Amino acid sequence: MISAEDAIVIARDAFPEGPEVLVERLNVHVEYRPLGGCDGFCVASRERAVIFLNKTDVSSAKRLRFTLAHELAHLILGIPSIVGENLTDMLSSDDADERRVNEFAAELLVPASVVTTLITEIPVVAQSLVRLAKKANVSDVSAALRVADLADGLGLSRASVIHFDRSGIRWQWPRTERVLSAKAAMLLNRALESAPHAFRFDEGDGTTTVAAVIENGFFDTATLLVQRLPSDKAQNVTSDERRKQLEEYLFGDDEQLSRSMSGYIGALKNRITCRTAEEVEADFWKRYQQTLDSTRMNSAEGREYIRLRISQWY
């Protein structure tokens, strides 16, 4: 079996397909079958290792990738797999070995270098998590967990993830950063009201709790990223939040303008090769100034919005 250090290097170089490349390199056989309430497990002999993943009609591909990375971590670290565990068991376990497996699996899926490159603003808001998840081909939940794991390196003094379903809190991560149920419920409700903007709660001691929420309507769940920051830093309006503010002002209920702008900006993104942001912005207004003259886009806010959208590509 490969060393943990070598596995991390391979996964980083192969990002975002680290687990899949490791499966090939290690000649691990992956078998998909219905496993009831178990998300996956692995067995190994001298000849070959086999990972079993729970495949059903409603299985999430991203959840399967998380389980694959988790079971690979068991194999590489030499920690026996637990037959019968599901995602909630994996994330809520107090066992030191299981926590080590989770941390290693997270590094295989989303290397720390990727997180620090993509998450450059604090507080971390939902849109940043969605972008990280898309880049890494993981779930929004996995992206939030990775941010919580790397909180110190991102400038967050404390961060935790709380996952809710219809019945309330399903699990919290990490176990050392637990939020009381009543406060967690308050943060969730206020974050849902504030969405897509993060909710900020002044703790009265010079710190502010920032809560960013991502909903999953298909599974009727919600994931909350909770961050504790010095109040001055917590009040920062991130570029993602500013973008939403501008969209609310510029488009309002004008769905036609919103759709048109999506098309214009999408076409513009296809023409950015070998050009500076300033050149791309000039190209946009040369093409669409006359079309947008009679709309709110023909304003200082409209120009700020285009400049902001372009800057997010660089």
Q: In Å, how far are 36, 70, 94, 160, 198 from 97, measured between CA atoms?
A: 24, 12, 9, 20, 34
Cα maximum dimension of the chain: 72
* Main-chain phi, psi angles of 224, to 5 degrees: -115, 125
Report, as an integer, the average pLDDT of 14-31: 96
Say which residue, 87 or 78, is predicted with more confidence.
78
Report, as an integer, the average pLDDT of 128-156: 94
Is residue 218 predicted with pLDDT exceeding 80?
A: no
Is residue 173 predicted with pLDDT exceeding 80?
A: yes
Residue 75: predicted pLDDT? 96
Residue 57: predicted pLDDT? 65
Say which residue, 90 or 210, is predicted with more confidence.
210
Is residue 9 predicted with pLDDT exceeding 70?
A: yes
Sign of CA dihedral 88, 94, 100, 101: negative
pLDDT in tens, 103-113: 999 999 999 99
Is residue 14 predicted with pLDDT exceeding 80?
A: yes
pLDDT band at 88 (very low <50, low <70, confident <90, very high): confident
pLDDT in tens, 30-77: 999 999 889 999 999 888 899 999 988 667 899 999 999 999 999 999
Which structure tokens are listed for 117? 């490159």
Residue 58: predicted pLDDT? 62
What gap in Å lies between CA 132 and CA 121, rounded to an integer? 13
Q: What is the domain partition of the chain in residue ranges? A: 4-109, 113-234, 239-311
Residue 94: predicted pLDDT? 75
C-alpha dihedral (136, 15, 85, 6), degrees to nearest 10: -150
Residue 47: predicted pLDDT? 81
pLDDT in tens, 239-264: 999 999 999 999 999 999 999 999 99
Q: Is the pTM of this model over 0.85?
A: yes
Report, as an integer, the average pLDDT of 211-215: 96
Is residue 304 predicted with pLDDT exceeding 80?
A: yes
Assigned architecture for domain 113-234: 2-Layer Sandwich (3.30)
CATH class assigned to 4-109: mainly alpha
The rounded mean pLDDT for the chain is 93
C-alpha dihedral (70, 71, 77, 83), degrees to nearest 10: 110
